[in-house]
Structure 1
Amino acid sequence: MPLLTRRWLIGALLVAGILSSAAWLHLHQPAPANSPTARGEQPAASIGVVATITPPAASTVHAHAAPAPDVERVLRSGSLRGSQPDGLLAWTGDGRLIANRELRRLLDYFLSSIGELDADAIRTLLVTQLGAQYSAAQVTQVAAVFDRYRDYQLALMNESPIADLSAQLSRLHELRLRYLGTEIADAFFRDDENYAAYTLAQRDLKTDPQLTAEQRVASLAELDKTLPESLRDRRALAQTPMLIDSQEAQFDVAHADANTRHDTRAAQWGEPAAQRLDALDAQRADWQSRLSAYQNWRDAINANTALSETQRRAAIDDLLVRSFHDTERVRIQSLEQEGLLPTPGG
């Protein structure tokens, strides 16, 4: 879910498509001076999933936080209503919090309610929810990371964008180290920074006028080898929709039949994916068939001079209701208004 993107998008987002942006946080307290617990080298002894979020009891809300009714209102009718927190909490064998991207996702989930609750109330909500499942010592560790992450987001919001994207990435890295420390900054943002650096290097190679076509291909291949496997998987996943679109265009040009499409897809994407794409083909064919039928009947109604304008309009409205469900009718009407669905004489 998109989080913390309400006020200011940093320039590097346009390059990598993965860097975080800042939300406006109304803060009243500085972050604790003590460093958060390090990630540790031990494997996680346990991983807990926070239960479905519920309004805190009035007795658990601290005096300095926003009134409990505000929290309850947001949870019952606001953006967090009926939701479950993203992310996981992981701990070492001796009870130390492990900082990782799942922890960041959890913090982002709670911070997504900024604007509905102030930062103090969000912190209280986080502590209250975790307190129902974790010990006071564990909750204190999470709250300490929350404080640092919150202050990093505020600092990021106050930063002016830097035109040079390499300099922007360096500045982001400096801020993360300053507010989060090396351990947490690395756990939260290492993959993002590595992929952003890769994307910038890829852009430079593609636009370097001194490289021949052969040198460019070779250099890009070498650059690809520097990506960790997890980021290679991410890049491949990001490219999948474009590859599927390209494959669809080739099918259309070749007038490929359904069996050919299925067999080719199964060989490239696997049988389950091929079946899902087959189903999508069927849905598209059904939509196109109904759309064509609607246009033909609509044109016939409009051409019927025995009907008055009011009768034609009523007949077309009835045709819409019989041909499409509610959201489809809105789509058809929007297409007609934008001139994207041909009308008689159009």
Structure 2
Amino acid sequence: MSKKYRVPYFALVIIAIVIAVTIAVILWFKPDKSAATVLADTSTTVSNGSTNAMTDMSDPYNGLEVSSTQTNTEFTTGLERLPSSLQGTQVDGEIIIDDNKQLVVTEGLRRLFDYFLSAMGEEDEATILARVESYIRHHTPEPAASQAVAIFNQYVSYLKQLSKIEASYGNLQLQATKAGALDLNVVGQRKQDVSNLRKQIFDDETIKAFFSSDDSYDEYSVAMLEIEQNQLMSDMQKNAARQDYVSRMPDGDIKSNIKQQANIGELIERTEQMKAKGASAQELYNMRRELVGAPAATRLAKIDVEDANFDQRFMQYQAQKQQLLTQNPDNAQIQINQLEQQLFDDAERKRLTGYAALKQESLDSN
């Protein structure tokens, strides 16, 4: 099963704050997915064998105390009467056991918990707790089943207490950004409080399995903030410091993901510059392949062709539309509607108003 990584909630908080500070940092910090969002990732892989059973998920960090009209908490498999947000999806996450039927704690176990917790709001806490316990016990032998249930209960307790920590730091972070910078001392104290909370609830094995990826992203985000807020460094020095930090990270999926995302800003900037200079499609492809890889470069090349084709049809549409309005303004709309249907499909027609506004804005700026 391919391993998935989430950008942690703390990183997202930092990113949101940095957006208010500088566009440059946005391009460095742009995340893939919000860990605070309670939407299930519906992809999954299931594998059964003598030593493991696998399944995949996302990540709720608050909202654990809500009400629901559902009161029936009797489950066998845990998948009965799924809430609407989970219907049609496959369970995400994994439960792995060793040859002695002992639980092997992984990040996938956390994703499994998050999959069911993502329905918080549709189901009350008691229902979700019963559903998860039933799912675990139906799919897992003892003693691993009871071990997984115990960790799930710890995880729920952790999320509740984490929400209180986040709430206590929310206003401080907001106040810090009013001056145009984030107080890194506040960031460090918040990180320490979360670390202490984890140590109170989980053992070291679970902390490492559940949160090591989050911590790597957190450390990266803080390092980028420190660089960005260093007034003694020039933009060139800051860029070099960012690249140096990433180059010293351990090789792996997290480093690869960060490097790809860090290339987004450079990709946008270089694409605009090269197009303004009349670069060929092959030159654009070569540059993009260097930054984001061949598959992405191929997709972007295809988008360029589609955009050029749409723009050509749009210019034709605008010219003919203006002609119709000039010749017969009172009855032109019917013919304009027919023209739109001839030149554009349903999805493209929805873009026309916004695209016209962008074109006009571009003309005005020039």
- SS of 2:96's equivalent in the other structure is strand
Q: Name the amino acid aligned to 1:241.
A: I
- Gap change, CA 1:264 and 1:73, over 3 Å in 2: same
- SS of 2:126's equivalent in the other structure is helix
The CA deviation string for residues 182-231 of structure 1, in whole angstroms up to 9 with x for no partner, is 32222211222233223223322343344578876775565445522233
- SS of 1:232's equivalent in the other structure is helix
User: Which residue of 2 is the match for residue 174 of structure 1?
Assistant: 196
Alpha-carbon deviation of 1:158?
2.1
User: Which residue of 1 is the match for residue 63 of structure 2?
Assistant: none
1:48 to 45, 54, 59: 54
User: Which residue of 1 is the match for residue 187 of structure 2?
Assistant: 165
Q: Name the amino acid aligned to 1:279.
A: K
CA contact (8 A) 2:263 2:291 kept: no
Give distance in 1, aligned partners of 2:321 and 2:121: 47
Greater Cα shift, 111-120 or 133-142:
133-142
Give distance in 2, aligned partners of 1:98 and 1:301: 71
User: Which residue of 2 is the match for residue 94 of structure 1?
Assistant: 100
User: Which residue of 1 is the match for residue 220 of structure 2?
Assistant: 198
Q: Name the amino acid aligned to 1:66.
A: T
Aligned-residue Cα RMSD (Å) equals: 3.9
**Within the alignment, does 1:184 sit opposite 2:206 as a pair?**
yes
TM-score, normalising length: structure 1 = 0.72
CA contact (8 A) 1:198 1:227 kept: no
- Gap change, CA 1:301 and 1:137, over 3 Å in 2: farther
User: Which residue of 2 is the match for residue 296 of structure 1?
Assistant: 319
Please show how residues 90-239 of structure 1 align to structure 2 within 5 Å: 90-159=96-165, 160-161=168-169, 162-163=172-173, 164-210=186-232, 220=242, 223-224=245-246, 226-230=248-252, 231-239=254-262
- SS of 1:158's equivalent in the other structure is helix
Alpha-carbon deviation of 1:22?
8.7
Alpha-carbon deviation of 1:9?
10
The CA deviation string for residues 303-328 of structure 1, in whole angstroms up to 9 with x for no partner, is 123x52xx222222222233333333
**Within the alignment, does 1:243 sit opposite 2:263 as a pair?**
no
User: Which residue of 1 is the match for residue 338 of structure 2?
Assistant: 318
CA contact (8 A) 1:13 1:19 kept: no
Q: Name the amino acid aligned to 2:82.
A: L
1:67 to 50, 64, 72: 72
The CA deviation string for residues 260-292 of structure 1, in whole angstroms up to 9 with x for no partner, is 333444455544333222222222222222222
Size of the aligned set, in residue pairs, is 303
Q: Name the amino acid aligned to 1:204.
A: E
TM-score, normalising length: structure 2 = 0.69
Give distance in 2, aligned partners of 1:106 and 1:172: 22
Stretches of structure 2 that go unaligned for 5 or more consecutive residues are 19-28, 39-49, 57-69, 174-185
Give distance in 2, aligned partners of 1:262 and 1:318: 37
Q: Name the amino acid aligned to 2:147.
A: Q
Alpha-carbon deviation of 1:157?
1.7
2:278 to 230, 234, 255: 255
CA contact (8 A) 1:87 1:106 kept: yes
- Gap change, CA 1:219 and 1:321, over 3 Å in 2: closer
Give distance in 2, aligned partners of 1:262 and 1:214: 26
Alpha-carbon deviation of 1:80?
0.7
Report which of the two structures shows the higher radius of gyration computed on alpha carbons: 1
